Amino acid sequence: GGPVNNGGIILKWFSEQVLGREFKGAEDVDRFLAEAIIVPPGAQGLTCLPWFMGERAPIWDAGATGIFHGMTLRHTRAHMMRAIVEGICFSLFSIAGILAETAGPADRVRASGGFTASAQWVQMVADIFGRPVDVAQDTDASATGAAMLGFIATGEVSGWADFRSWTASPATFLPAPEQQERYRDAFQRFSALAQTFSRT
């Protein structure tokens, strides 16, 4: 796997410290995304490395810092918001690329956690990854996975098939090929910037 430090906490920081508004729950994520997606994919050349809390995967650098790169006078706060969300998604996509080298590419993505409350964010993940994204019915999938492993390890169940009801997905988001193409250049900018500023 590949854990990251920087996800929804960056939306909370930007909302509270830059926009001066409270950020407490799913409705605030939706509000953030609604403004961010006004801007087209790629944020018109603005790129964010969302390493505001250092970063674990894929760079493993506790001293890493966040960056907005390519800022011009045409960029607005909505561009910054879009760049933040894209930067978080691009970090995850980078990790998926590394995992694919060792375990093979994934046909689908299974998403869990607070961000799945935003359909717009999950759709962005589907478009960037170019894979269907199944949203887990349990937002705390890590704990559910740990419980499943425990049941298998103790012999309480015979295998993964016994957990089909646990892993049912209430929603699947399909990628839009034209959007994936638009994200490709933005991801290349992100990757080049990450290589330049990563100390690992």
Tens digit of each residue's pLDDT (9 = 90 or more) over 151-171: 999 999 888 788 877 777 779
Tokens at 84, concatenated? 């933040």
User: Is residue 37 pLDDT above 70, yes or no?
Assistant: yes
Strand partners, 68: 48
Q: What percent of the chain has pLDDT over 70?
A: 98
- Tell me the CA distances in angstroms from 96 to 90, 92, 126, 131, one per residue in order: 10, 6, 13, 11
- Tell me the CA distances in angstroms from 88 to 50, 63, 64, 166, one per residue in order: 6, 18, 14, 27
Rounded Cα distance, 157 and 150, in Å: 10
**pTM exceeds 0.85, yes or no:** yes
Give the model's pLDDT for residue 139: 62
Query: Mean pLDDT over residues 104-117, rounded?
Result: 90
Residues 18, 51 contacting (CB under 8 angstroms): no
From 71, 83, 70, select the one nearest 11 (Cα to Cα): 83
DSSP 16: I
φ, ψ (nearest 5 deg) of residue 31: -65, -40
Give the model's pLDDT for residue 200: 55
